[in-house]
């Protein structure tokens, strides 16, 4: 299946109810379960990832296929390691290519019994739930994936003796670690973070009533549309500028580089547009928020602004190799992206018309953010074609319907 996306004008007006935060929802599902809470989580995300995780936590089986849900794979590997029973945890073909060895090795040091049933270092996993042993120092590479760290942190209070994590190398996606700790704190857990060490004593979670806020990663596509519009007055429902989510920092980038103003109005954020300053090149570091890198890469090309982005090393182990995917798909716009160093992506601002596809047909590679990030380009190009458009259900199921609400045509 493919969708052709067009928009006859560059006016962006209306109200959009954003999806609930997937990052918060997935963490709170684990924490809520560990707290033996009697309360249901309010405004839980309806994304595929969250649905999969919720189904596993409420299942009456020991075999779990989590599809493309990377967060669920990481969080459940740690969670199931301490739940009595024998568990099989597998996923899609791509999931079976995504490394999990660092997390498994860390859990084994705590006494976990985990076996690889196919390839060493990759799912599927056979997990024999047991009582883990803490009370010591566990070293972990902080530059690979914050989800490994979050997975360990969430079970840390429930391990006899607690856990101290020492993070080695540069920490990737630090706001996601802070998000995990902030949510744990809301549920009654105390911690200390000194230098590169996070210490959590053995303690009990306290059940609380909790409502999930709107998703800032999902908001990024609307900020991009605002940047590409000529006239904008858009309300994003349920979004908070003062947010638990690290991706909220993007609002400053959009104002500084693209003239998109954001203002809190009650429980919502209003986007308006002013003339953006001119930059010869946009240089950004996504080490703390890699999930919005695709949004900015597509936007910069549409605005014809050269860029150099860094902090993108983890993009290679996402749903697809996102650096390679961006290089491949933006080539259809006549743009050649380079990788000056590992985890960097750059464009010098030149176009090669001989490479242009009319219209560009975007492959999504089973990656929701490819579809989500390229769709706003229809504000600039006559039409954009998206292959496998239903991939967006992983994080933003209502996206295509929401685009229609503000005047996009989707066929």
Q: Which residue range is the domain that position 352 belongs to?
A: 2-19+214-410
Torsion angle of the four alpha carbons 355, 361, 367, 372, in this order, in degrees rounded to the nearest 10: 100
**Inside any domain, residue 41:** yes
**Inside any domain, residue 208:** no
E strands, 93-226, are 113-116, 125-129, 137-141, 163-168, 192-194, 197-200
**Inside any domain, residue 126:** yes
Are 155 and 237 part of one and the same domain?
Answer: no
Are 102 and 221 part of one and the same domain?
Answer: no
Give me the number of domains the chain comprises.
2
Are 307 and 400 part of one and the same domain?
Answer: yes
Q: Which of 200, 222, 248 is the last residue of a domain?
A: 200
Least confident of 22-31, 232-241, 284-293: 284-293
- Is the full-model pTM beyond 0.75? yes
Q: Which of 176, 200, 224 is the last residue of a domain?
A: 200
Least confident of 144-148, 206-210, 375-379: 144-148
CA–CA separation, 297 and 129 (whole Å): 43
Q: Which of 150, 177, 200 is the last residue of a domain?
A: 200
Are 312 and 350 part of one and the same domain?
Answer: yes
Mind listing the pLDDT tens digit for each residue in 265-310?
999 999 999 998 889 999 999 988 999 999 999 999 999 999 999 9
**Inside any domain, residue 206:** no
Q: Has residue 134 got a pLDDT over 90?
A: no
Looking at residue 308, what is its pLDDT? 97
**Inside any domain, residue 351:** yes
**Inside any domain, residue 260:** yes
Show Cβ contacts of residue 378 under 8 Å, excluding neighbours closer than 6 positions. 5, 6, 7, 384, 408
Are 187 and 287 part of one and the same domain?
Answer: no
Span 351-358, mean pLDDT?
90
Q: Has residue 317 got a pLDDT over 80?
A: no
Q: Has residue 314 got a pLDDT over 90?
A: no
Are 159 and 302 part of one and the same domain?
Answer: no
Looking at residue 124, what is its pLDDT? 98
Span 229-257, mean pLDDT?
95
Q: Has residue 139 got a pLDDT over 80?
A: yes
Looking at residue 143, what is its pLDDT? 85
Q: Which residues on neighbouring strands pair with residue 283, listed in sequence order?
A: 308
In 3D space, the residue among 337, 264, 303, 287 whose CA is nearest the CA of residue 145 turns out to be 287
Q: Tell me which residues are annotated as active site.
A: 291
Looking at residue 372, what is its pLDDT? 98
Looking at residue 42, what is its pLDDT? 96
Are 130 and 70 part of one and the same domain?
Answer: yes
Band (pLDDT 50/70/90 cuts) for residue 54 is very high
**Inside any domain, residue 205:** no
Residue 367, domain CATH: 3.65.10.10
Looking at residue 402, what is its pLDDT? 98
Band (pLDDT 50/70/90 cuts) for residue 171 is confident
Instruction: Tell the burial category of 350 from Cβ atoms under 10 Å away from its Cβ (0-12, 13-18, 19+).
Output: exposed
Span 60-64, mean pLDDT?
95
Are 11 and 43 part of one and the same domain?
Answer: no
Copy the structure tokens of residue 376. 């706003």
Looking at residue 173, what is its pLDDT? 81
Mind listing the pLDDT tens digit for each residue in 73-132?
999 999 999 999 999 999 999 899 999 999 999 999 999 999 999 999 999 999 999 989
Band (pLDDT 50/70/90 cuts) for residue 170 is confident
Are 400 and 362 part of one and the same domain?
Answer: yes
Q: Has residue 135 got a pLDDT over 90?
A: no
Are 159 and 267 part of one and the same domain?
Answer: no
Are 45 and 184 part of one and the same domain?
Answer: yes
**Inside any domain, residue 73:** yes
CA–CA separation, 32 and 21 (whole Å): 16
């Amino acid at each position: 299946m493919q969708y052709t996306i067009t928009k006859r004008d560059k006016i962006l007006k209306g109200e959009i109810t954003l999806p609930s935060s997937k990052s918060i929802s997935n963490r709170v599902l684990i924490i809520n379960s560990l707290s033996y809470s009697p309360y249901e989580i309010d405004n839980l995300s309806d994304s595929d990832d969250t649905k999969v995780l919720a189904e596993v936590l409420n299942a009456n089986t020991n075999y779990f296929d989590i599809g493309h849900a990377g967060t669920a794979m990481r969080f459940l590997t740690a969670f199931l390691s301490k739940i009595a029973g024998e568990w099989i945890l597998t996923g899609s073909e791509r999931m079976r290519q995504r490394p999990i060895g660092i997390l498994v090795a860390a859990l084994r040091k705590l006494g976990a019994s985990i076996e690889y049933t196919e390839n060493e270092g990759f799912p599927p996993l056979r997990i024999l739930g047991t009582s883990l042993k803490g009370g010591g120092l566990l070293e972990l590479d902080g530059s690979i994936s914050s989800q490994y760290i979050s997975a360990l942190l969430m079970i840390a209070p429930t391990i006899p003796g607690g856990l101290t994590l020492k993070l080695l190398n540069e920490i990737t996606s630090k706001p996601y670690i802070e998000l995990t700790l902030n949510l744990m704190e809301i549920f009654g857990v105390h911690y200390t973070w000194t230098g590169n060490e996070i210490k959590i004593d053995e303690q009990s979670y306290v059940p609380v009533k909790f409502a999930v806020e709107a998703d800032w990663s999902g908001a990024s596509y609307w900020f991009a549309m605002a940047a590409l519009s000529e006239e904008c007055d858009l309300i994003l429902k349920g979004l908070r500028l003062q947010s638990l989510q690290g991706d909220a920092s993007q609002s400053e980038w959009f104002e500084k580089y693209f003239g998109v103003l954001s203002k809190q109005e009650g429980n919502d954020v209003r986007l308006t547009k002013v003339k953006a300053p001119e930059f010869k090149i946009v240089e950004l570091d996504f080490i703390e928020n890699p999930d919005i890198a695709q949004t900015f890469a597509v936007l910069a090309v549409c605005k014809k602004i050269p860029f150099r982005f860094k902090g993108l090393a983890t993009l290679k182990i996402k749903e697809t190799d996102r650096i390679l995917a961006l290089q491949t798909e933006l080539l259809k716009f006549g743009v050649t992206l380079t990788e000056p160093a590992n985890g960097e992506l750059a464009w010098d601002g030149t176009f090669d018309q001989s490479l242009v596809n009319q219209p560009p047909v975007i492959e999504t590679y089973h990656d929701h953010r490819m579809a989500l990030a390229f769709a706003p380009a229809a504000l600039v190009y006559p039409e954009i074609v998206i292959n496998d458009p239903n991939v967006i259900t992983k994080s933003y199921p209502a996206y295509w319907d929401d685009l229609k609400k503000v005047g996009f045509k989707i066929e």
